[in-house]
Structure 1
Amino acid sequence: MTRADEPLVGRVIEPLPDALYRVELADGHKVLCHPAGKARLQAVRILPGDRVQVELSTADPGRGRIIQRLA
C-alpha cells in the first residue's frame, strides 16, 4: 500500500454531482475524489478523460482528492 502523502496518477472516468469525480487509478482501482482547495479556488476545469494526480485518504482508501490536473 502506498503512503497517503504520495500522489498517484489516474484518469477521470465521470463527473458526479457536488464537485465529485470518479477516478480510475493506474493500478485499476476506482476512487471517489473531490478537488483540493487550490484547484477549486482557481476553477480548474476537470473533464472526463483528464489525467490527474490524486492523494488518497488515510481513513478511507476509496476516497481521495485531486491535487493537480496533468497535461
Structure 2
Amino acid sequence: MMIVDADYQNARRQIEELIDYLRKNQSTSCAMAEEDLILTRLADWQTDLKPNHKQAIAAINEYYRRFIEK
C-alpha cells in the first residue's frame, strides 16, 4: 500500500480550486496575462505533479494563499 503525502493531496485539491477560481474571476486588465500563465502552470501540475515535487507544491500553496485566502 502506497502512503500518499498530505501536502501532495492538499496541493491536488488546491489546484482544482485555483483553476476554478481563476477561470471564474479573470481580470480584464494586463493582470490577465499573468493569470493565463498561472492557469497554464496549474494545468501542467494537474497532470504532472508527483509527491516529491516539493518546490511545485510550495508554489501551489503560495498561489492558493494569494488568490483564495486573501
- Bigger share in helix: 2
TM-score under structure 2 length normalisation: 0.30
Q: Which has the greater radius of gyration? A: 2
The structure whose RCO (Cα within 8 Å, separation 6+) is larger is 2
